[in-house]
Amino acid sequence: GDSVTQMEGPVTLSEEAFLTINCTYTATGYPSLFWYVQYPGEGLQLLLKATKADDKGSNKGFEATYRKETTSFHLEKGSVQVSDSAVYFCALGFSSGSARQLTFGSGTQLTVLP
């Protein structure tokens, strides 16, 4: 079945450091790929997405490129801030009839220190 494998955390960085959170997937077909973020005490929010190979999703300084050849969707940010401290989830999805269901990775806890 479909699955998403994320880099294990927790990850601790200093402010302004470079961030990479690895995500690889297994799927039959061509899914859409997503990164969600969960700030402390809050629900999940969509951070960025890519719907086909070589697409780059970006938002709030974060980027991820859909790499079909390596089945990856790594999340990057050039300079993290304390406010980026959160749990990050990689996910893939296919349409199922008229709606989409997502398969999530295990999540990566990021802590950014001032």
Partner 1 sequence: SAVISQKPSRDICQRGTSLTIQCQVDSQVTMMFWYRQQPGQSLTLIATANQGSEATYESGFVIDKFPISRPNLTFSTLTVSNMSPEDSSIYLCSVEGRTGELFFGEGSRLTVL
Residues in the chain: 114
* Token output for 111: 């802590």
Burial (CB count <10 Å: 0-12, 13-18, 19+), residue 76: middle
Site map 72..101 versus partner 1, x via CB under 8 A: -----------------x---x-x--xxxx
Rule CB under 8 A: choose which of 3, 12, 51, 83 binds partner 1: 51
Tell me how far, at minimum, the Cβ of 42 lies from partner 1, in Å: 6
Q: Could you give the angle at the alpha carbon of 16 between the alpha carbons of 8 and 14, nearest 5°?
A: 55
If binding is defined by CB under 8 A, does position 29 make contact with partner 1?
no
**Does residue 33 bind partner 1 (CB under 8 A)?**
no
3 state SS of 84? helix
DSSP 72: B
Nearer to partner 1, 31 or 112 (CB): 31
Question: Which residues lie near partner 1 (CB under 8 A)?
Answer: 32, 34, 36, 42-46, 49, 51, 89, 93, 95, 98-102, 104-107
